[in-house]
Amino acid sequence: MKTNDGLTVFPIEQPMLNSILESRPVECIQQHISIRDGLPIQTERSAVNDNLLRADLSVGQLAPDLFVAFAEEHCDAIVAFSDDAKTNWPDEDADGFGDPDTDACDRENTIVHGYSYGFGTRWVIYFYLASTGDAKLLRTYLKNRRIPRPGSFARDIERSFRRVNGPATDG
């Protein structure tokens, strides 16, 4: 099945979601980022968060049965990719708040409680999509997931991927 914008949709049943979220590579990626940023990972799971993760994974273009193996194979590179993003992305992309001049978010009074359970899956998806070398596919995914400024964000992802891995291969 495909979305209206051409993304392949992979059904993600609860056992598969659990397997991905509880996998060693996803937990490793999350722990590294959490320690680096000094933010805890919220361990409570909710149906809302599970549904958001399922939606991300279903259109992430990486077949669910291959997700854990891909994350395992590229774990160190994904961690380096997230480190590069933290260091080199513009603040509005790195912290998720958007443009401080145009967004209604109040950074000064925002309280960050930590990362949501399963957030590492998105880093795997970003890395995977960048590794395909298909810029349009990456932008389409970001647009589908309603990421602000998908074109700009895609360029940040691609630059970080190249700095860590060299040019992507055509997927």
Q: Indicate if the pLDDT at residue 56 is higher than 90.
A: yes
State the sign of the Cα–Cα–Cα–Cα dihedral 86, 67, 150, 133: positive
**Structural domain contains residue 171:** no
**Structural domain contains residue 9:** no
pLDDT of residue 108: 74
Task: Give the list of residues 6+ apart from residue 56 with CB closer than 8 angstroms, or none.
Answer: 121, 122, 125, 145
d(CA 17, CA 117): 12
Which candidate, 47, 151, 152, 42, places its Cα nearest to that of 92? 152
**Structural domain contains residue 4:** no
SS (H, E, C) 120-137: HHHHHHHHHHHHCCCHHH
d(CA 155, CA 135): 8
Q: Indicate if the pLDDT at residue 36 is higher than 50.
A: yes
Convert the pLDDT of each residue in 126-157 to its tens digit: 999 999 999 999 999 999 999 999 999 999 99
Q: How far is CA 134 from CA 93, 170, 171, in A?
A: 21, 7, 7
**Structural domain contains residue 138:** yes
**Structural domain contains residue 3:** no
Local confidence band at 119 (pLDDT 50, 70, 90 cut-offs): very high
Convert the pLDDT of each residue in 57-106 to its tens digit: 999 999 999 999 999 999 999 999 999 988 887 755 444 445 555 555 66
**Structural domain contains residue 156:** yes
**Mean pLDDT of the 20-24 span:** 96
- Show the domain range for 156: 14-165
CB 132 within 8 A of CB 170: yes
Which candidate, 101, 99, 23, 30, places its Cα nearest to that of 65? 23
Local confidence band at 167 (pLDDT 50, 70, 90 cut-offs): confident
Local confidence band at 113 (pLDDT 50, 70, 90 cut-offs): confident
CB 61 within 8 A of CB 129: yes
Other residues' Cβ atoms within 10 Å of the Cβ of residue 18: 12
**Structural domain contains residue 5:** no
Specify the pTM.
Answer: 0.86
**How many independent structural domains does the chain possess?**
1
**Structural domain contains residue 82:** yes
pLDDT of residue 97: 47
